[in-house]
Structure 1
């Protein structure tokens, strides 16, 4: 159950104190094949050059120590991979690690690296981060370069970092995003206004999220996004169409995992009318989020509506599509969204608290997350 597909040693070899990072296997590293953890792409030629984010990390002094495992072709929420193995969930090895950036979340949670890069098309950073009890950020769509990242064309996918603390998340963003303003990301956010979203989630998780906002001393008001469910369904339609365009040619290869082949065949049925309807929902939901963010600095809600199911339950056919009901809508709208771990009363597992900000205000999202993190640590030390 390896989180790391390939062990590497790139950059900063002369600096024993250089921070370490692992890279999801949908992101090019020169000299290594980008296989997306799929038998169908196992014989791909080595990448000719680094993805832009990889080169930026090396230029900033990071040491790349491995390529991480993932849900095959980045098209699944469980993280289960019968070709490359299923990464271990560091919170509970009987539970799914989440997908598709399963190896990146697992490697960070197991302290194999200081940070990792993943990609998030329908929750593929925030879902695994919440499952594995770590931090994960999906930047504003288009803000971080996707040059050298699969799939090549997308209206949803974002490259972003995993870490065990906000300071490291900010350090990675500083490296991969030349426009990132570190001073704004580390600014005091104690006066931030929070729109606490009323969503369908397990009561214990909703309480944990609300309690964390209260512990952080942030002023909050309750809001509800009326088009959230429509945005979830629309996001599914768009990801299905775009993934079919990217990988549909592999269906007849005989080399895909059964779950991926089935999902791709179903994705082929996405109609033009369905996509047009999804784009109308995209516009309506984006407007609704923007309007809400005129009355608050950030939105806060659970990252996932429930704790991750067991691997056995997933293999037995328990549906996991609802895992992304609270994260996928913000891929559709393109807003920055971050998850941080929060304690659940009476449970050894942590849930995810999701923070969503205005487009382009990734730094404010980070600042609010860092404030909540600091206040939760201070509260825990005083209990």
Structure 2
């Protein structure tokens, strides 16, 4: 069982992929149609194998639901039984000439998304073993009249259908996983994990052309009271609508990130101090102009600018945070610019400028 399940990461991936992949009926249906196409020529044995395969798949699905968690042994046992079933079908329909030989690939690639590589390789070896035994055993049986060509086409269509579904699923799951890794699921903004990479790129560009970059850190004023008074669902709606307004206030090259509960950071490549403050003020006015989720909402912002390759992300964020704190202390609903600095991890934070924009909240 330890070999089958692997480590904690393998078990987590298996459970995640099984929960995402909820269309086993597509694969079972394709195999069923292919088997039905041969019933007029093979007769009762194929019907019995068809019923047995359906019961095997249904039993595996029902057992998984009762366990409430995807189980590697259940999935593996279902896979082996289905492969044995198909091997017997191949045995009874001509062995090496059976149009059903290609169906043995369907259970294999349908499980490729779930199991770790050593288990998948073992599954491929078992599939080859079952197919080989079926072909060799068929040679010892009386010759079977070849099935009509359309039966083979139906079997091929079943394989192509399942392969297309599996490929499409893998592609969409990969894109979804990438989105989950870089995007905040609620607001659709980039998350904190991507801020460092984007900052590094912007800083390298600024160092190359001698330009500057700016960071704006903004925070929803009195957000705790919104949650306490109107509930967390209403608070979430406020953040979702706030994210939309922030995006509408930015140009294509500017990037907004959600870095905390109600805290956002905006990266402004190529912006100097005056331009950054102007953008921060535009964001503040966009938020306060109309209610968010039916509530009057304001934000406070801190702005910091670095020239060329000066500064570090950690130091600049601390400068932003200090300026944001000053905006809160000065009455909220305003923008405060930090003094220009190249503060790094070991440098003290600069004092915010006393000049503020906006009105007291």
> Higher relative CO (CA 8 A, sep ≥ 6), structure 1 or 2?
1
Settle same-fold status: TM greater than 0.5: no
Q: TM-score, normalised by structure 2?
A: 0.21
Larger Rg: 2
More strand by share: 1
More helix by share: 2
Q: TM-score, normalised by structure 1?
A: 0.20
